[in-house]
Amino acid sequence: MVAATGYGVAGRTFAGQSGARYRLTRAWKLGRKIPLVPTAIICLFVLFALFAPQLSPYDPTQIALPQKLKPPFPLEGGTAAHLLGTDNLGRDVLSRLIWGSRVSLGVTAAVVVVSSIVGLLIGLAAGYLGGRTDDFLMRVADGSIAFPAILIALLFAVSIGPGVTTVILALSVLSWANYSRIVRGEVLRLRHLEFIVGARVIGCSPARVMTVHLFPNLLDMWVVMITLQVGLIVLSEAALGFLGAGVPPPTPSWGSLVSDGRNLIDTAWWISFFPGLAIGLLVLSVNYLGDWLRDRMDPQLRHR
């Protein structure tokens, strides 16, 4: 029964292909149709984050008061030496934007990895084991969701002190519950299907059922959930930076860059505008890509 379904042992199969070959073929087909503009925007910011020292024209913390409040290059008073202008301390906005992408995207990547893995494991255990284990884990998840995310993150920053580790820890603690609840619901649906029942009948341990039989069938949904959560994490990290509870100065992050120019928005709008534009473009691109992945990976939506 288990071998006939093709689930759980080597992933899904199609037309006699092995599970690995089927997934590679499917990934290739998805890659050929991927939306170009959102992908290009995401890749651009990833390049900024990876190669900030090489791409940044100036030291992002270098103060040059004679150059302060220079407007962007096309505007009157602007200079090609500072394409996006300078802030009130003469620091180059483009350089700070590039280095800020390293901090913001690095924090986002760490939070997504930690929270998605923790949420997946807890959701698998709660959905498959059921009973008191399910009740306990889901009540913990409910408690995590019930608290305001920004407030808890601010408490972390006050009690531990602001920094990259604090932001990652705070956002990870607040993000895993969404993954766990969705994974649990899918596991509850799958656990009564024939290939899971057959695996239990032949003596597979709960750990083997969860890792070998259930996880491959959760992978598509899990990837889509990750893409849809990235935008939320980017906004949360930016909000903490804006409120002063993120990465402390002089290290730039997109949220703190927006905050730097809030008191000068009427005279030096570019200080806040370009970091805010970067946040908006990245979040829109990631959300669009996540919606596209969901439509492509959901059999009910794929042919609409």
Is 168 inside any structural domain? yes
Is 29 inside any structural domain? no
Tell me the HSE value of 239 on the side-chain side, using a 13 A CA sphere: 14
CA–CA distance from 294 to each of 45, 83, 225, 299 (Å)?
23, 38, 9, 9
The band of 24, judged by pLDDT with boundaries at 50, 70 and 90, is: low
pLDDT (tens digit per residue) in 109-159: 999 999 999 999 999 999 888 888 889 999 988 888 887 777 777 787 778
Torsion of CA 21, 23, 26, 30, to 10 degrees: -130
Position 239, amino acid:
A
The band of 2, judged by pLDDT with boundaries at 50, 70 and 90, is: very low
Domain, as residue range, for 208 = 37-302
**Among 303, 117, 300, CA closest to 225:** 117
Is 25 inside any structural domain? no
pLDDT (tens digit per residue) in 218-262: 888 888 888 888 888 998 888 888 888 778 878 888 999 999 888
Position 250, amino acid:
P
The band of 8, judged by pLDDT with boundaries at 50, 70 and 90, is: very low
pLDDT (tens digit per residue) in 252-262: 889 999 998 88
Beta carbons within 8 Å of 187's beta carbon, 6+ residues apart: 123, 124, 126, 127, 128, 214, 218
* pLDDT score of 30: 57
Is 146 inside any structural domain? yes
CA–CA distance from 262 to each of 21, 88, 208, 248 (Å)?
52, 11, 54, 17
Could you tell me the CATH number of the domain that includes residue 80? 1.10.3720.10
Instruction: Summarize the confidence of residues 174-191 as an average pLDDT.
Output: 88
Burial (CB count <10 Å: 0-12, 13-18, 19+), residue 192: exposed
Tell me the HSE value of 200 on the side-chain side, using a 13 A CA sphere: 12
Is 98 inside any structural domain? yes
Alpha-carbon distance of 90 to 249, in angstroms, equals 15
What's the domain count of the chain?
A: 1
Is 140 inside any structural domain? yes
Residue located via tokens 């270098």: 62
Is 3 inside any structural domain? no
pLDDT at 180 exceeding the cut of 50 = yes
Share of the chain above pLDDT 70, in %: 87
Is 48 inside any structural domain? yes
